[in-house]
Amino acid sequence: MSIVEVKNLTFGYEDGLLFENVSFDVNEGDFAAIVGDNGVGKSTMIKLLLGLIKPNQGEVRILGNNVRDMKDFTSVGYVPQNSGALASSFPASVEEIIKYSIHDRKISKSDRNRRVDEALDTVGLKDMRKKLMRELSGGQQQRVMLARVLINRPGILILDEPTVGIDGESVDRLLEILHNLNIDDKVTILMVTHDLQSVAPYINKVLCISDHSLAEESAALGATVVHAHSHKHSNEHINHIHCAACESNGHGECDCAEHHHHRHDIKNNCDCSDNEQGGEHHA
């Protein structure tokens, strides 16, 4: 099922086109990355997907609805670029920022508090709820901004360069959280990134923007696919989880079931698809 559909999209400014006749789909359960050089229009594509700007031609659909006609975007969670740093300038606590981001104002106080607890637990910040945003690290601030959209329980997450400005350990933590959301909660994720190497273990689709076009590509073979939660295979002593592509394409009895670490090299150890490329569609 297509969650995001872009058909024959053309868009440009007075000084020239950014996109010409671009078409692509993001399917339910995908973890997709939009990549490309600076200035090619990655963030502009996000604005088009969210209906913040209108294409010159073509259409964008989310969950089957043309974004031009959508009035309710509660099914979409959007984390803008540098949103954590911007939020740190407000004299608000972590709890306040998350709680008052709930779209449904009719829910009870107890349900509101429960949702705050769930969101903070998901991003690993329950002990930070009373802290002011400016007291947190950059990585923690970014996780708060993720919790801010998760409180509305979206089915799709769109993130614009969420790893910019945070340290490597924080990047790893954030990507693990996103991976768990993708696999455990079946959240579809579309993320603009400049760091394909870091996200490659988690994604199953790469959308590369260049020369006014967008092409779907496979990430390099040999990337380490990350397994984040329990799933039984033939070896009952080994638990692991598939990447997004394994979840959607099915998974055979491959060598990764024999590995004692929650990682395996898809080039050498695992053929989880039916094609001759082995793990090409994994990451």
Residue 219 confidence class, pLDDT cut points 50, 70, 90: low
In terms of pLDDT, which residue wins out, 84 or 218? 84
DSSP reduced 3-state for 181: helix
pTM of the model: 0.78
Query: Strand pairing partners for 226?
Result: 263
Structure confidence by residue, pLDDT tens digits, 111-165: 989 999 999 999 999 999 999 999 999 999 999 999 999 999 999 999 999 998 8
* Rounded Cα–Cα distance for residues 230 and 241 (Å): 6
Averaged over 252-281, what is the pLDDT?
34
Does residue 275 carry a pLDDT above 80? no
Angle at 46 between CA 222 and CA 185, to 5 degrees: 60
35: number of CA atoms within 13 Å, CB side? 19
**CB contact at 8 A, 163 and 192:** no
Percent of the chain with pLDDT over 90: 50
Structure confidence by residue, pLDDT tens digits, 93-102: 999 999 988 8
Closest CA to 87 of 159, 161, 140, 156: 140
**CB contact at 8 A, 272 and 259:** no
Averaged over 221-248, what is the pLDDT?
44
Among all chains, which residue has been given the structure tokens 């997907």?
49
